[in-house]
Amino acid sequence: MQSLSWLLGAFFLPLFPMSLLFSRVWQGLGSTRMRVLLILLWPLPGVFVLDAMDPLIPSWLAIWALATSMLYGLRAVAIKEASVWVGYMAISAWSLGWLIFAVSDNPVSPIAYVLSFSASFALLTMIIGEIEHGYGAAYAGIVTGLAQDQKALSALFVIFILSAIATPFFPTFFVLLGNIAQVSGVRLFAAVIAALVWLVWSWSAMRLIQGLLVGTSGKRVPPLLTKRKIAVYGVLASLLVVSALIDLGGLR
Amino acid sequence: MIGEGLKAQVRTMVFLAGEPIPRFWPMRSFIHHNPLHGLEKMKFEQAVEKGEQLFHGRAYLPRDLYQQYLRDGKIDECILEACITKFASMQTRIEGVELEKWLKSLVYSFPRNVISRDHFIPQSVMNSDITSVLQGRFVREAAGMDCEELTLKLEDVLIHRGSIQEIIDKLFGTELASQLDDLIVRNCLNFFDEGQAAWEMPSRENGFFNAWLAVFGKSGSFMLSKRVLQEVLESVTCPEEAIIYVMRNFKIPESHWQSYFQRELTRLHGWAGFIRWRSSALHYYFTRKYPGDLVDYLAIRLILSHALVDKQVASSMPKNMEDLKGYIRENTTRAYLAYQYHSGNVIPSFAHRIEKALFSGKQTRVESVATDYFHYERESIATQHAQNLRRLSTSVNAEQQLLALDADGIGNLVRCIEKFERREGLYWLKAMEEKAINELLRNISLMPSKQLVNRKRPFVQAMFCIDTRSERLRRHLENVGDYQTFGIAGFFGVPVSFMEIDKGTEVHLCPVLLTPKNLIMEMSVSGVQDTVALSIIEKVVHELKETVLAPYVTVEAIGLLFGLDMFGKTMMPVVYNRWRTKLHKHKPFTHLLIDKLSREQADSIVRAVQRALISKAIEIEFKLSPEQVNDDVVRELREVALGNIDHADSFQKLFNVDDVRLNEFIEQLRDVYRVNKSESRHQMERLGRIGFTLDEQVTFVSQALQAIGLTKVFSRFVLVVGHGSQSQNNPYESALDCGACGGNVGLHNARIFAGMANKPAVRQRLRAIGIDIPDDTWFIPALHNTTIDEIIMYDLDLVPATHLIYLDRLRQGLTAACRLCAKERIPELGEDIYPVSNGVRKAMRNALDWSQVRPEWGLSRNAYFIIGRRGMTRNISLEGRAFMHSYDYRVDHNLILLENILTGPLVVAQWINMEHYFSAVDNESYGSGSKVYHNVAGRFGVMTGNIGDLRTGLPAQTVLMNGKPYHEPLRLMTLIESPLESVKTAIGRVASVRKLLQNEWIHMAVVDPISGGVYRYCAGDWKAYDIGDLHAGREAAAI
Amino acid sequence: MNAIKFNHLKKLEIILEGEYKEFAIDLLDRVGVKGYSIINNLSGKGSHGFRDGHIMFNEDDLLIMIIAAVPEKLVEPILQGFSPFFKEHSGVVFVSDIQVTRLVKFGGDD
Q: How far apart are CA B729 and CA B6, in angstroms?
A: 49
The one-letter amino acid code at A211 reads G
Q: State whether A84 and B347 contact (CB < 8 Å).
A: no
Beta-carbon contacts of residue A187 (< 8 Å; ≥ 6 apart) = A59, A62, A102
Query: Which domains, from first to last, does chain C contain?
Result: 7-106 (3.30.70.120)
CB A211 within 8 A of CB A144: yes
Residues in a beta bridge with B1016: B1005, B1023
For residue B366, give the nearest of B335, B325, B344, B324 by alpha carbon.
Answer: B335
Interface check B133 vs C, CB under 8 A: no
pLDDT in tens, B732-773: 877 888 888 888 889 999 999 999 999 999 999 999 999 999
* Chains in contact with A, where contact requires at least 3 CB pairs less than 8 Å apart: B
Give the residue from chain A lying closest to B349, CA to CA.
Answer: A137
For residue C86, give the nearest of C2, C4, C24, C6 by alpha carbon.
Answer: C24
The length of chain B in residues reads: 1039
For residue C10, give the nearest of C56, C91, C61, C68 by alpha carbon.
Answer: C68
CA dihedral A207, A209, A215, A221 (to 10 degrees): 140
Q: What does the pLDDT average to over A186-202?
A: 90
Q: Which of B264, B282, B312 is the last residue of a domain?
A: B312
Q: How far apart are CA B346 and CA B342, in angstroms?
A: 8
* Chains in contact with B, where contact requires at least 3 CB pairs less than 8 Å apart: A, C
Residue C27 to chain B, least CA–CA distance (Å) = 7
The one-letter amino acid code at A5 reads S
C23 neighbourhood in chain B, CB within 8 Å: 12, 15
Residue A135 to chain B, least CA–CA distance (Å) = 7
Provide the 3-class DSSP secondary structure of residue B622: helix
Taking the domains of chain A in order of start, what are their residue ranges?
32-243
The one-letter amino acid code at B931 reads K
In a domain, B799, yes or no: no
A88 neighbourhood in chain B, CB within 8 Å: none
Residue B522 to chain C, least CA–CA distance (Å) = 27
Q: Which of B347, B349, B350 to mutate to test the interface with A (most CBs of A within 10 A)?
A: B349
- Burial string for A156-169 (b: 16+ CB within 10 Å, else e) reads bbbbbbbbbbbbee
Half-sphere exposure at residue B575, Cβ-oriented, CA atoms within 13 angstroms: 14
Q: Is chain B touching chain C, with at least 3 CB–CB pairs below 8 Å? A: yes
Q: What does the pLDDT average to over A167-174?
A: 87
Give the residue from chain B lying closest to C54, CA to CA.
Answer: B989
What's the pTM? 0.83
Number of cross-chain residue pairs from B and C with Cβ atoms under 8 Å apart: 74
For residue A88, what pLDDT band results from cuts at 50, 70 and 90?
A: very high
What's the distance, CA A175 to chain centroid? 12
Interface check B907 vs C, CB under 8 A: yes
Closest partner residue to C84 among B258, B907, B991, by Cβ? Answer: B258
Beta-carbon contacts of residue B132 (< 8 Å; ≥ 6 apart) = B138, B139, B140, B382
Which domain, by its residues, includes B615?
A: 526-572+597-688
B346 neighbourhood in chain A, CB within 8 Å: 142
Distances (CA, A) of B713 to A221, A244, B772: 66, 90, 8
Q: Which of B277, B296, B312 is the last residue of a domain?
A: B312
- Burial string for B600-635 (b: 16+ CB within 10 Å, else e) reads ebbeebbebbbbbbbbbbbbeeeeeeeeebeeebbb
Provide the 3-class DSSP secondary structure of residue C63: strand
> What pLDDT is attached to residue B546?
38
Cis peptide before A17 (omega within 30 of 0): yes
Q: State whether A80 and B348 contact (CB < 8 Å).
A: no
Provide the 3-class DSSP secondary structure of residue B790: strand
> What pLDDT is attached to residue C51?
59
Q: Give CB contacts under 8 A, 24+ apart, made by A45-49.
A: A45/A8, A45/A12, A46/A8, A46/A9, A46/A10, A46/A11, A46/A12, A46/A13, A46/A14, A47/A12, A47/A13, A47/A97, A47/A110, A47/A111, A47/A114, A48/A111, A49/A5, A49/A8, A49/A9, A49/A12
CB C106 within 8 A of CB C71: yes
Of residues A243 and B255, which shows the higher confidence score? B255
For residue A90, give the nearest of A112, A118, A125 by alpha carbon.
Answer: A118
Beta-carbon contacts of residue B53 (< 8 Å; ≥ 6 apart) = none
> What pLDDT is attached to residue B594?
82
Structural domains of chain B, count: 2
A138 neighbourhood in chain B, CB within 8 Å: 348
Residues in a beta bridge with B885: B867
Interface check C90 vs B, CB under 8 A: no
Give the residue ranges of chain B where pLDDT is below 70. 1, 139-144, 196-198, 218-220, 447-455, 501-505, 523-591, 728-729, 830-851, 1027-1039
C82 neighbourhood in chain B, CB within 8 Å: 8, 12
Distances (CA, A) of A18 to A64, A65, A79, B31, B448: 12, 12, 21, 69, 95
B16 neighbourhood in chain C, CB within 8 Å: 84-85, 88
Q: Which of A139, A148, A214 to mutate to test the interface with B (most CBs of B within 10 A)?
A: A139
Q: How far apart are CA B380 and CA B382, in angstroms?
A: 5
Q: What does the pLDDT average to over A41-56?
A: 84
DSSP string, B235-304: H--SHHHHHHHHHHHTT--GGGHHHHHHHHHHHTHHHHHHHHHHHH-TT-HHHHHS---HHHHHHHHHHH
Name the percent of chain B in helix, strand, coil, to the closest 5. Answer: 55, 10, 35
In a domain, B13, yes or no: yes
Interface check C72 vs B, CB under 8 A: no
* CA-based radius of gyration for chain A: 18
Q: State whether B348 and A143 contact (CB < 8 Å).
A: yes
Distances (CA, A) of A30 to A85, B355, B1036: 15, 19, 61
Q: Residue B406 burial (CB < 10 Å; 0-12/13-18/19+)?
A: exposed
Distances (CA, A) of A194 to A17, A66, A94, B93: 19, 7, 12, 73
Interface check C32 vs B, CB under 8 A: yes
Distances (CA, A) of B756 to B167, B714, B721: 63, 16, 15
Q: Is chain A touching chain C, with at least 3 CB–CB pairs below 8 Å? A: no
For residue B870, give the nearest of B860, B878, B862, B861 by alpha carbon.
Answer: B878
- Residue B1028: Cβ within 10 Å count: 7
Secondary structure E strands in B887-946: 934-937, 941-944
Residues 254-283 (B) with a CB less than 8 A from some CB of C? 258, 280, 282
The three-point CA angle B325-B327-B332 to 5° equals: 100
Q: State whether A81 and B344 contact (CB < 8 Å).
A: no
Closest partner residue to C56 among B13, B280, B903, by Cβ? Answer: B903
> What pLDDT is attached to residue B727?
74
Q: Which residues on chain A place their C-beta less than 8 Å from a C-beta of chain B?
A: 80-81, 84, 132, 135-139, 141-143
Q: How far apart are CA B584 and CA B119, in angstroms?
A: 60
For residue A112, give the nearest of A2, A252, A246 by alpha carbon.
Answer: A246
In a domain, B965, yes or no: no
Q: How far apart are the first and last CA of chain A?
A: 36
Successive 10-residue mean pLDDT values, chain C, 110 residues = 80 91 93 92 70 48 87 93 92 92 68
CB B91 within 8 A of CB B416: yes
Residues 976-995 (B) with a CB less than 8 A from some CB of C? 989-992
B15 neighbourhood in chain C, CB within 8 Å: 23, 85
CB B500 within 8 A of CB B747: no
- Residue C92: Cβ within 10 Å count: 12
For residue B96, give the nearest of B404, B389, B309 by alpha carbon.
Answer: B404
Taking each helix axis from N to C end, the angle separating B407-443 and B123-134, rounded to the nearest 10 degrees, works out to 100
Query: What stretch of H or E contains C100?
Result: strand C91-100
CB B744 within 8 A of CB B509: yes
Provide the 3-class DSSP secondary structure of residue B898: helix
Q: State whether A142 and B355 contact (CB < 8 Å).
A: no
Provide the 3-class DSSP secondary structure of residue A107: coil
CB B922 within 8 A of CB B58: yes
- DSSP state letter for B995: H
User: What is the ipTM, given to two decimal places?
Assistant: 0.90
> What pLDDT is attached to residue C63?
85
In a domain, B829, yes or no: no
- Residue A105: Cβ within 10 Å count: 7
> What pLDDT is attached to residue C75?
94
Residues in a beta bridge with B84: none
- Residue B293: Cβ within 10 Å count: 22
